[in-house]
Amino acid sequence: MKVKSKVISIVSAALLLMGTAACSNDTASTDATKAKSSKGPVTFTYFGADPVPTWNNMQDEVGKEITKRTGVTLKASYQVGNDDKVGLIASSGQYPDLISPKGSAAKMVDAGAMVDLKPLIEKYAPNIKKLIGNNWGRLKYSNEDPKVYFIPTYDAVGQKQFDAGGGFELQHAAVKEAGYPQIKTLQDYENVIKQYVKKHPTVDGKPTVGMSLIGSDWHFLITVTNNATGATGKPDEGEYSIDPKTHKATFHSRLPEEKEYFKWLNHMNDIGLLDSQSFVQTYDQYLAKVASGRVVGLADQSWSYGSAENTLKGAGKDELTYGHYPVTLNDKYKRHDFQSIGFNAGWGIGITKNCKDPIRAIKFLDFLASDEGQILNYWGIKDKQYKVDNGKRVIPADVQEQKTKNNAEFTKKTGIGMYNISMRYGDGMKDSTGNYYTTNFPENVVKNYSKETKEVLSHYNAKTWKDLFPSEKEFPVLPWGAAWSINASSNTEYGAIFQKAEDTAKSYVTKAILAKPADFDKEWDNYLKALDAIGVKKMEAEYTKLVKARVELWSSK
Amino acid sequence: MKTLPLEVSKPMVVKTKKSVWSKILSQKYLILMSFPFVIWVFVFSYIPIWGWTMAFQNFKPGLSFSQQEWVGLQNFKELFLDHDFYLVMRNTLAMSIMELVAGFLCPIVLAVLLHELKNKYFKRTVQTISYLPHFVSWVVVSGIVIQMLSTDGGVVNQLLMNLHVINKPIEFMGKENWFWSIVTTADVWKEVGWNTIIYLAAIAGIDPQLYEAAKVDGASRFRQIWHITIPGIRTTITILLILSIGNLINIGFEKQMLLGNPLVQSHSNVIQLYALNYGIGLGRYSFGTAVGIFNSVVSIILLFSANRIFKKTTGESVM
């Protein structure tokens, strides 16, 4: 009996000791900078809110190289479907070591799950520090909680756009037949369509469509209301228009100048140039219509109709693909498509309290942010996926062919572009050797244009579509960045009003566009009344506060 | 049928405790066998009711139960004060009653007609073809419906044009007042064959001698249907009707979401869609739960009153 009780007491003492040891470990890791860091191979768990279907457990070539250099292996899991996985992670307390929660960041921060990264970056991450530069203010979480919880990964530093993807689109054939006129206002745009439809009432036996929109689902925002903003000379701020001086936000589709745009759509519908299916068709039906080549004009973004355009290209109908024109309501307005938003921090990757070795984690992220890490991620492995000719990085033709032909397979095998999980430079930025960091550069844009596209552009003395638009140099950088990235919490009264305002706009603006021209003003008044009834002013006031807070935060150091 | 078990149970009540135990002992295997299902029901149907507490809180994920802020009936107040809620209720009830009537009568009629068919192969073929749409998802069905009713080469419009019924294509999907009918028709098309199966099974259980006897008495085909087939499946009809009345408010949202568009929004928004868009979609879990509770309470009331009415009038009921 005695022996037995002795054994029990020893065991329980040992258990107690282990318990205290575990506890002291915990307290040590909360003060991240003081924790000891390991050297050997280590595995970090990672959760990403955006799925990466080509993820290969770091068994791809770039992944193996990263593990070789850093000793780190990532065990990644991703969001599947629409469920709120980040919310679950936040409430369960079982945080991964690294997390990229996208728009749900607040859930992690509210749960107290994130580690303040600023001291770690200052001490251990020179490359990230260099990339941040004087943008520290933009990395802060909020005015109330000015810590840095996330390293922005959704925007690249210095990223430049080389081509236009928005504006108003017209088929090359229509522009050619019209004799390459100046296309600056809605009237010019309408004339080109009108002439072409008159001349070619049918395409392959089916009626020609003047202009088609997709207003039945969320594309309503892209093809209907956003264009009202673009055509009236304002940058795209999501559902708001923000006064550059007072920072007052207005729900943009209720502005009087935008009414004029919708009135024009109403007129297009009246004369039969607007597709009568615009607000009824599904996205797939819209794409099918565009791919049939019988839609003369679009008011969409190339990422939205791109797959349909590719079908046209594949069928050799390059003359029926689209060009982008800087169309405005009248010549008083100037398109703001390229107004710079500066570095759009916000969404990104963070280290959680559960991470045993935050120093190692930040060093890992710092490696990815180094020139070496970025080139590995963007270009692959030297002499395998790229070569250096006379100091210039080039992709061999056979590699390029694999890359374009079967991109998913190529990415899975090589891992190129799959490690966008730290800060990095964007398109158009050059490293110390004078090479571009990314594989996208201006020369490539023109190279990928079809013969027809080049011909149309040559008549406007332009190299790319972007050249037709006012350049970013004409506008100041927006101090609040991209307004659509300001996270307004949705589970509040504000969120409910906002949702209602969107639904109201969808329903009433559509009705106004499809009304008889004589009834347009009446329908428009109904719309304004409905917005007032749901409390749009209250919502705008709330959002104005957020914009002001953002400006204050981002201008801080 | 009803009186028999009552008589058996009566003496049991009078008897002492011992005999209850002996009864349990004698049925121990049956009781053991029912255990997994009782646990299943408990785990999946009763424990989740705990989540109803969310409706009375300002629920925030990540906080423990004791840290949640209690707001009383705030969420319900918000729901009942929302003007849209009444519009949504109107749409829900209108569409579900239309679906109840159409979706209830059509399968019975189809089942009776199929039963009357003499050619076995033709019957099988019709049956198979009619229930196949059940396995097609609403995403596909809505695509078919929208394409068929389209003004741009839609079959329905072309047919009507060629028959000179109309001289200009009609924008079916853009007409608010037609939306309910379109949804109901699409639903009947999709589900009629599937819902027929249970009635066909019930009809198969009718004693063929009854038909023979009726024939000898000189009953016509219609008389046979009216006096033998319909009464033969009356119990099935009643039970299914009571259950579907209980589900009146649980209309689902796929059809309305997929077939709807901004033009018909005022007629397409239903309660589940409302809960999705204004509750879960916005992360307002408490509000969504409040809508869910409202739903369940209405369902229970409907179910019990339907059950009671049928019990009184026809003597048949589910409970």
Closest alpha carbon within chain A to B277:
A499
pLDDT at A256: 93
Q: Is the pLDDT of residue B15 over 70?
A: no
Q: Is the pLDDT of residue A207 over 50?
A: yes
Count contacts between A and B (CB, < 8 Å): 93
Residues of chain B with pLDDT > 70, as a percent, come to: 93
Collapsed DSSP state (helix, strand, coil) of residue A323: strand
> Touching check for A288 and chain B: CB below 8 Å?
no
Whether B84 sits inside 8 A of A500 (CB atoms) is: yes
**Residue B218, token pair as written in the block:** 């000189």
pLDDT at B7: 46
Average pLDDT over every residue of B287-314: 89
- pTM (two decimals): 0.77
* Cβ atoms of A471 and A338 closer than 8 Å: yes
Convert the pLDDT of each residue in B139-180 to its tens digit: 999 989 988 998 877 899 999 999 988 888 888 888 889 999
Going by C-alpha positions, the residue among A71, A70, A77, A15 that lies closest to residue A46 is: A77
Going by C-alpha positions, the residue among A158, A304, A151, A154 that lies closest to residue A224 is: A304
Q: Is the pLDDT of residue A541 over 90?
A: yes
pLDDT at B2: 44
- Which tops the pLDDT comparison, A393 or A30? A393
> At B3, is the pLDDT very low, low, confident or very high (cuts 50, 70, 90)?
very low
Q: Is the pLDDT of residue A10 over 70?
A: no
pLDDT at B16: 56
Q: Which of residues 128-187 of B touch A (CB under 8 A)?
A: 142-143, 146-147, 150-153, 171, 173-174
Q: Is the pLDDT of residue A113 over 80?
A: yes
Residue A319 Cα, gap to closest chain B Cα (Å): 24
**Which one of B63, B143, B266 has the shortest CB-CB distance to A284?**
B143
Show residues of chain A in contact with B278, CB under 8 Å: 496, 499-500
- Between helix A61-70 and helix A371-379 the angle, nearest 10°, is 160
> Touching check for A278 and chain B: CB below 8 Å?
no
> At B9, is the pLDDT very low, low, confident or very high (cuts 50, 70, 90)?
very low
Residue from A282, A492, A531 to probe the interface with B (highest B Cβ count within 10 Å): A282
Cα radius of gyration (chain B): 25
Residues of chain A with pLDDT > 70, as a percent, come to: 92
Where are chain A's structural domains?
Answer: 32-159+343-414, 168-337+449-484
Which CA distances in Å does A93 have to A79, A88, B141?
Answer: 17, 9, 42
Whether A491 sits inside 8 A of B285 (CB atoms) is: yes
Strand order, beta sheet including A72-78: A72-78, A42-48, A98-100, A348-351, A151-152
Q: Per 3-state DSSP, what percentage of chain B is helix, strand, and coil (rounded to 5)?
A: 80, 0, 20
DSSP 8-state class, residue A221: I
Which residues does A483 contact at the CB level (< 8 Å), separation at least 6? A237, A238, A240, A242, A249, A547
Collapsed DSSP state (helix, strand, coil) of residue A42: strand
Fold of A168-337+449-484: D-Maltodextrin-Binding Protein; domain 2 (3.40.190)
DSSP 8-state class, residue A248: -
pLDDT at A456: 94
Whether A491 sits inside 8 A of B147 (CB atoms) is: no
> At B244, is the pLDDT very low, low, confident or very high (cuts 50, 70, 90)?
confident
Convert the pLDDT of each residue in B17-44 to its tens digit: 668 888 888 888 999 999 999 999 999 9
Q: Which of residues 201-230 of A touch B (CB under 8 A)?
A: 206-207, 215-217, 220
Residue A241, H or E segment: strand A240-242
How high is the mean pLDDT of chain A?
87
Backbone angles phi, psi at A352, to 5 degrees: -95, 170
The domain B77-313 is placed in CATH, from the list 3.20.20.60, 1.25.40.10, 1.10.3720.10, 1.10.443.10, at 1.10.3720.10
> At A263, is the pLDDT very low, low, confident or very high (cuts 50, 70, 90)?
very high
Q: Is the pLDDT of residue A17 over 70?
A: no
Residue B276 Cα, gap to closest chain A Cα (Å): 12
Average pLDDT over every residue of B292-310: 89
Residue B151 Cα, gap to closest chain A Cα (Å): 7
Average pLDDT over every residue of A217-238: 91
Query: Is it true that A32-159+343-414 and A168-337+449-484 share their CATH fold?
Result: yes
Identify which of A49-58, A526-535, B55-64 has the greatest average pLDDT.
A526-535
Q: Is the pLDDT of residue A13 over 90?
A: no
Residue A110 Cα, gap to closest chain B Cα (Å): 8
Q: Which of residues 120-159 of A touch B (CB under 8 A)?
A: none
Angle at B194 between CA B190 and CA B195, to 5 degrees: 105
Residue from A95, A204, A223, A491 to probe the interface with B (highest B Cβ count within 10 Å): A491
pLDDT at A9: 52
* Cβ atoms of B116 and B225 closer than 8 Å: yes
Q: Tokens 């080469």 correspond to what residue?
A: B153
> At B4, is the pLDDT very low, low, confident or very high (cuts 50, 70, 90)?
very low
Which amino acid, one-letter code, is at A530?
A
| CATH code for the part of the protein at A32-159+343-414 | 3.40.190.10
Show residues of chain B in contact with A277, CB under 8 Å: 150-152, 171
pLDDT at A257: 93
Where are chain B's structural domains?
Answer: 1-42, 77-313
* Cβ atoms of A38 and A362 closer than 8 Å: no
Residue A524 Cα, gap to closest chain B Cα (Å): 15
Q: Is the pLDDT of residue A26 over 60?
A: no
Convert the pLDDT of each residue in A135-156 to its tens digit: 888 888 888 888 999 999 988 8
Q: Is the pLDDT of residue A471 over 60?
A: yes
Collapsed DSSP state (helix, strand, coil) of residue A14: helix
Contacts of residues B251-257 at CB distance under 8 Å and 24 or more positions apart, as own/partner, are: B251/B92, B251/B95, B251/B96, B251/B99, B254/B138, B254/B139, B255/B138, B255/B142, B255/B183, B255/B186, B255/B187, B256/B91, B256/B95, B256/B183
Q: A324-338, A505-519, B60-74, B99-113: lowest mean pLDDT where?
A: B60-74
